[in-house]
Structure 1
Amino acid sequence: MTAFNVRAANLPAINSMTKYPSIPTYHSLDPRNGGLLDETVPFAGVVVGTEKVDGTNSRIILLPDGTYLLGSREELLYAKGDLIGNPALGIVDALRPIADRLPAVEGDRIVVHYLEVYGGKVTAASKQYTGGRSIGNRLFDVAVVGDYREMSDWDARRISGWRDDGGQDFLDEAALRQTAERTGLVLTPRLFEIDATDLPTDIARTKAFLDEWMPATLAALDGDAAGRAEGIVLRTPDRKAIAKARFQDYERTLKRRGR
């Protein structure tokens, strides 16, 4: 087997196979107007609730040769050792010190740390987390890609289909917490673990559920933050089921319904 070398690798393929997949909304979105429908993502057993931090989705891609790539949700922005990196949204400046201290990958595989970079001038919601220009990051998922060599020969459509069909192997909740502890990374705030039967399915009750569990962000970077939270991510401990519930979706839908 030829040793992996990032300079000779198929970077567009690696970019595609390590992108973070779209997460469905807990209540389905109406394609006609963006409002919420009554159908929900089904959950069974224990459900873990975490804060959904409103920042920019970012990646640290650890490679088998001991190097790494940094990326936004869509693009690769920097490779270890580069003199110049893409400055988009401050991702490289925020993540390069972290990537430099992460332990090297063990074995012939790719490991991807997904972090939300937020605060500063990253998004319009930055004022909710900081009254100044503080920038923070929170780890929210880790994926392992073991069959990257085979996929390096796939075309873009095939890789995209594999990713959208759940082909990425994400760590479960216990392993994710262990990774955060081992690396010194901070997870998105954990809010609760409840039985799926305690999840509301009515739209108005789900809005009340959000208000109860997330009255303000737990990821503020300073005391001058405005403090409004974006919402909650719901997931099973094995991450086989995952969905997001955002305040704005419920507020908009209930307003249209006159409630």
Structure 2
Amino acid sequence: MINLRVLNLTSLNSATKYPSISTYHEIDRGILLDPTVLFDGEVVLTEKVDGTNARIVVFPNGDYVIGSRKELLYARGDLIANPALGIVDALRDLADHITAPEAGIRVYFLEVYGSDVTKASGEYTGTKAVGYRLFDVVSIDPSVLDLPDEAISTWRESGGQSFHTEQELTELAEQNAIPLTPRLGSFPAHEIPTGLQEMQEFLTKHLPTTRVALDDGGTGRPEGIVLRTLDRTAIAKARFEDYTRTFKRAARR
């Protein structure tokens, strides 16, 4: 049985962080370039919500830790919680009832958004409402925590975490009544544009406005989309602002 109280929390924090995700078009100093992430088979498009990355790290006995992108904020039963970005307040009730794994460590990755979480909060709410959306789940073997800190970081960023497939993610979301990031459709890889202009038009066509508004007071401008294969072996993000910036700089030349 995993005992949260004796775990190396530095190692746990590193092993359960969300790894870096590439942009669909390669980016250099803010400018998109022609090379793209390669996809094969079916590609699922989801809305990329502009909030703050959060995680619920769950153990087989029901213990859990809530964290931000960079640090752990609260463990089940703590009297004091780190109030950073309102993450703990937004997720504690969910964490109290979330499905625990039979073995190992399970991490639910969510985007917490709205309120005053980011500068983009006004896109989703006019009343400072707050919401969350599940976008990934990963399983981790506790033995990883025995590795040196640098080795854990390398393991994480090189794809060592075992991410759940689209079907598994959907099933866990339904089981726990957690709203997923909106699914915009599934496309054969060859139908995903590779040109910069074509991809910008593709974004506008499939996500003209956000699908995760928290009330009618938000301005509704979306951040972008995430592209992933069904087995989650390939994933990339495409943000409106990256394409807009690229074309604006090109026009000045």
Superposition deviation, residue 105 in structure 1: 2.4
Instruction: Choose from 88, 97, 100 the match for 1:101.
Output: 97
Structure 1 residues 1-259: aligned runs within 5 Å: 3-30=1-28, 33-107=29-103, 109-145=104-140, 147-148=141-142, 150-258=143-251
Q: TM-score, normalized by length of structure 2? A: 0.98
Superposition deviation, residue 155 in structure 1: 1.2
Counterpart Cα distance in 2 of 1:141 and 1:151:
20
Superposition deviation, residue 87 in structure 1: 0.1
- Say which SS state the counterpart of residue 218 (structure 1) adopts: coil
Amino acid across the alignment from 1:241: A
Counterpart Cα distance in 1 of 2:239 and 2:151:
31
Counterpart Cα distance in 2 of 1:53 and 1:198:
23
Superposition deviation, residue 104 in structure 1: 2.8
Superposition deviation, residue 153 in structure 1: 2.0
Between 96-105 and 228-237, report the one with greater CA deviation. Answer: 96-105
Amino acid across the alignment from 2:100: A
**Aligned residue-pair number:** 252
- Say which SS state the counterpart of residue 97 (structure 1) adopts: helix
Counterpart Cα distance in 2 of 1:103 and 1:35:
41
**CA-to-aligned-CA distance 1:66-90 (integer Å, 9 cap, x gap):** 2000000110000000000000000
Given that 2:100 and 2:106 are in contact with CA atoms closer than 8 Å, whether structure 1 keeps it comes out as: no
Counterpart Cα distance in 1 of 2:203 and 2:64:
37
Counterpart Cα distance in 1 of 2:226 and 2:160:
20
Counterpart Cα distance in 2 of 1:249 and 1:87:
31
Counterpart Cα distance in 1 of 2:190 and 2:145:
42
Given that 1:62 and 1:104 are in contact with CA atoms closer than 8 Å, whether structure 2 keeps it comes out as: yes
Amino acid across the alignment from 1:8: V
Given that 1:131 and 1:223 are in contact with CA atoms closer than 8 Å, whether structure 2 keeps it comes out as: yes
Given that 1:35 and 1:249 are in contact with CA atoms closer than 8 Å, whether structure 2 keeps it comes out as: yes
Tell me the percent identity: 56
Long gaps (5+) in structure 1: none
Root-mean-square deviation (Å): 1.0
Given that 2:126 and 2:217 are in contact with CA atoms closer than 8 Å, whether structure 1 keeps it comes out as: yes
Counterpart Cα distance in 2 of 1:56 and 1:34:
21
Superposition deviation, residue 157 in structure 1: 0.6
Counterpart Cα distance in 2 of 1:153 and 1:175:
28
Given that 2:227 and 2:235 are in contact with CA atoms closer than 8 Å, whether structure 1 keeps it comes out as: yes
Superposition deviation, residue 34 in structure 1: 1.4
**CA-to-aligned-CA distance 1:170-220 (integer Å, 9 cap, x gap):** 110011111111110000000010111111111011100011001000000
Q: TM-score, normalized by length of structure 1? A: 0.95
Amino acid across the alignment from 1:60: I
Between 157-166 and 60-69, report the one with greater CA deviation. Answer: 60-69
